[in-house]
Amino acid sequence: MNRVWIEGIGITKFGKRPESLSELILEAARAAIQDAECDEFDAVYVGAMNPDEFLDVSNIASVITDYLGLVPAPTMRVETASSTGAALFAAAFHAVASGDCGRVLIVAGEIMTRVSTIEATELMSQVIDADERRHGATMTALAALATRRYMVEYGLTEEELALVAVKNHDNGTGNPYAHFQKSISVSDVLSSRMIADPLKLYDCSPISDGAVAVVLTGTPGPVEVIGIGQATDLVAVQMRSSLTHFNSTRLAAEKAFKMAKIRPAEIDTAEIHDAFTSFEIIGSEDVGLFPPGGGRIALIEGETQPRGRMPINTSGGLKARGHPVGASGLAQIAEITLQMTGRAEYRHPVSPRYGLTQSVGGLATNNLVTILRSSF
Amino acid sequence: MRTAEAGEAFVAPAPLDVFKCACGYGTALPRVYCPRCRDLLRASTSSPWGAVLTWTILHVRPDGAREPSGLCVVGLESGINVMAKFDPRSKLAVGDRVAVALATDGVRWISRSAP
């Protein structure tokens, strides 16, 4: 495979946005094109989880390529539920690594706030196995089942779990793209509305609009993509052998580290998919940063704080930055890139040589791990 | 104990219909291939008794209904895990010995704990 670099990135502010999906994606794309200082692309990769139902829009890849003024470039839409942004990046990576494309534009976005919260929850529940849906499962309920099992096996308490939300909100203050830029306390989290016991409102990432764009090239640049791994798991949680760890992440991480030829201990910072606070702890273990149960210990000892030994979600994570589902996997890659190029405006950015992102599709049915290396 | 919802016949715990593989894997969900060894799964039955592995109570429900609903995963004696609903008014704890019963609408419920 040929080597692949990130040449430019663009992110919109996440939150409740009045623009159309096309307008939001154009905003991100313009920023990425300006950052990369070029606008000629061999292909356009488009990611959105469900514009068909959130917005009644289809043929989205063609619609976006047209709106961006990039016709006649070839284009396709990639969809892997909530890891769409990361899978999209992987597909574009392969196009450049194969030598077929010299430069591609990757754009991912989601508008979720045009429907009610109930409707959005219902749409998100479509990723769940039919039998489990019939039993009333929602994404939060399935995450709660995993969370309680983790609590039983490793002694995690609700107060400790709240530390993830507090840390990520603190990290997000100062991130100009974040949906939430306000600190919260442990008691704010514990007193927030119970959604699916033990997960409360502040244990869950928000419903957000947002778009991200990345330019990938075969020409050396500031950030190199040195490893990507992807794997699936059984859709029905009851069919799996573990309720507290996600095999899809573990296999994806193994593949990514093998391709990158580095070890987990060499990672300087990680963006871990914290759609739920417990997923940050579980994800940090599944990618190999800590052993089983070690993610909890690292959290409570402050190791995952920005000044700690293994900073996680210094951008604010999905929790504070927001979670426009199709875009999050690409946003994580953009945030690591910002830190590697010294442009992150968070309260506590880091300067990583090696950065890792972990993206979760559905209830960990289709996950990706991506490893980047700074060229500086 | 839960009470049957309107229009539903409540069925006492009986062996559950499941799908098993020669390798030992089993599931209550209709699948063709064993996820462990890729051999073909065959129809079989399982004891409905097992232990609660984990549970949650949904306070925000996808159907918008106001009363909380219970959802759990039970590790059956046969080694198969099944998801089932439970009445949140009956307190469930991880490790409780329970039976899983099938209602006529195909939904699995925790029917009672062992004395």
The reply to whether residue B29 touches residue A138, judged by beta carbons under 8 angstroms, is no
Q: Which of B29, B57, B62 sits opposite A138 (nearest CB)?
A: B62
pLDDT in tens, A202-237: 999 999 999 999 999 999 999 999 999 999 999 999
Instruction: Find the helix packing angle between A60-67 and A21-36, rounded to 10°.
Output: 60
Q: What is the pLDDT of residue B115?
A: 43
Average pLDDT over residues A140-158: 98
Taken in order A327, A332, A335, A336, the sign of the CA dihedral is: negative
Q: What is the pLDDT of residue B9?
A: 47
Q: What is the pLDDT of residue B5?
A: 52
Give me the DSSP letters along A213-253: EEEEESS--SEEEEEEEEEE--SSGGGSS-SSS-HHHHHHH
Report the candidate in A108, A132, A185 with the shortest Cα–Cα distance to residue A359: A108
pLDDT in tens, A295-354: 999 999 999 999 999 999 999 999 999 999 999 999 999 999 999 999 999 888 899 999
Q: Give the number of other Cβ atoms within 10 Å of residue A265's Cβ.
A: 9
The reply to whether residue B29 touches residue A121, judged by beta carbons under 8 angstroms, is no
Would you call B64 exposed, middle or buried from its count of C-beta atoms within 10 A (0-12, 13-18, 19+)?
Answer: exposed
The reply to whether residue B57 touches residue A197, judged by beta carbons under 8 angstroms, is yes
Average pLDDT over residues A358-367: 97
The reply to whether residue B56 touches residue A194, judged by beta carbons under 8 angstroms, is no
Q: How far is CA A31 from CA A7, A41, A47, A92, A370, in A?
A: 12, 15, 17, 19, 22
Residue carrying structure tokens 């106001």: B66
Within 8 A of B56 by CB-CB distance, chain A residues are 141, 144-145, 148, 196-199
The reply to whether residue B59 touches residue A195, judged by beta carbons under 8 angstroms, is yes
Helix (H) or strand (E) holding A88: helix A84-97
From chain A residues 123-142, the ones with a CB under 8 A of any chain B CB are 125, 129, 131-138, 140-141
pLDDT in tens, A67-80: 999 999 999 999 99
Average pLDDT for chain A: 96
Shortest Cα distance, chain A CAs vs residue B71, angstroms: 7
Q: Is A286 on the interface with B (CB under 8 A)?
A: no
The reply to whether residue A238 touches residue B64, judged by beta carbons under 8 angstroms, is no
Token pair recorded at residue B49:
């008794």
Token pair recorded at residue B33:
């291939």
Q: What is the pLDDT of residue A121?
A: 84
The reply to whether residue A196 touches residue B73, judged by beta carbons under 8 angstroms, is no
Q: Which of B31, B56, B59 sits opposite A148 (nearest CB)?
A: B56
For chain A, the straight-line distance linking the first and the last C-alpha, in angstroms and rounded, comes to 23
Q: What is the pLDDT of residue A309?
A: 97
pLDDT in tens, A234-265: 999 999 999 999 999 999 999 999 999 999 99
Q: What is the pLDDT of residue B114?
A: 52
The reply to whether residue A152 touches residue B94, judged by beta carbons under 8 angstroms, is yes
The reply to whether residue A140 touches residue B60, judged by beta carbons under 8 angstroms, is yes
Shortest Cα distance, chain B CAs vs residue A138, angstroms: 7
ipTM of the complex: 0.94
The reply to whether residue B29 touches residue A193, judged by beta carbons under 8 angstroms, is no
Average pLDDT over residues A89-98: 98
pLDDT in tens, A187-198: 999 999 999 999
Q: What is the pLDDT of residue B19?
A: 98
| Residue among A238, A251, A365 with most chain B CBs within 10 A, to mutate | A238
| Residue among B36, B60, B74 with most chain A CBs within 10 A, to mutate | B60
Each residue's pLDDT, cut to its tens digit, for chain B (115 residues) gives 454 454 344 556 799 999 999 999 999 999 999 999 999 999 999 999 999 999 999 998 877 788 999 999 999 999 999 999 999 998 899 999 999 999 989 999 998 755 4
Average pLDDT over residues A273-297: 98
User: What is the four-CA torsion angle of A369, A234, B54, A165, rounded to 10 degrees?
Assistant: 30
Shortest Cα distance, chain A CAs vs residue B106, angstroms: 9
Within 8 A of B62 by CB-CB distance, chain A residues are 118, 121-122, 125, 133, 136, 138
Within 8 A of B81 by CB-CB distance, chain A residues are 238-240
Q: Report yes or no on whether pTM surpasses 0.90.
A: yes
Q: What is the pLDDT of residue A323?
A: 96
